[in-house]
Structure 1
């Protein structure tokens, strides 16, 4: 059994995430994509296990068809679009319109 570290000493203080890892989101749109899925689950449009299935399917599909062609959050968006369509929450046209609006909004925010 390992001894419990002395958290009061300066040599055994926990390292914070910001000291050890890259940012979770590399671009604002990734955070937006994450927030959309979080909101879908919060509003009970899907469960987290159901979301996991959608995401796993999107990753499997893109990795089979064109390995490495999409980033994790591009796959995340692909899964989200499918979930929204399958649930009847948005159709393809509405999804494309919303993406266009979000991109335009983020471009405007970065100009200021």
Structure 2
């Protein structure tokens, strides 16, 4: 499941540790939410448990968000997930802390 809301002018998308049946269309769901709120910057929040499929979905959603010029970043406490996202998500900004990700997205000019 994906929870979403606005915080300090930033769309915050929180992915549950087990997105369940939504996993097959997770990239599409994230992209749709980002597009609806464009040009609002978006932060995807990942928990401690992140699967390869979730990483793939986030990278795909990031690619799609670039097509509409929406700033997207990720916050996750997992150092290994951060490294993987940085390696796969060309230009994807990845943070260790949620507050840092939101503050940075809010302060970055559109």
The TM-score with structure 2 as length reference comes to: 0.29
- Quick check: which one's strand share is greater? 2
The TM-score with structure 1 as length reference comes to: 0.29
- Quick check: which one's helix share is greater? 1
Q: Which has the higher contact order (CA 8 A, sep 6+)?
A: 2
**Which of the pair has more CA radius of gyration?**
1
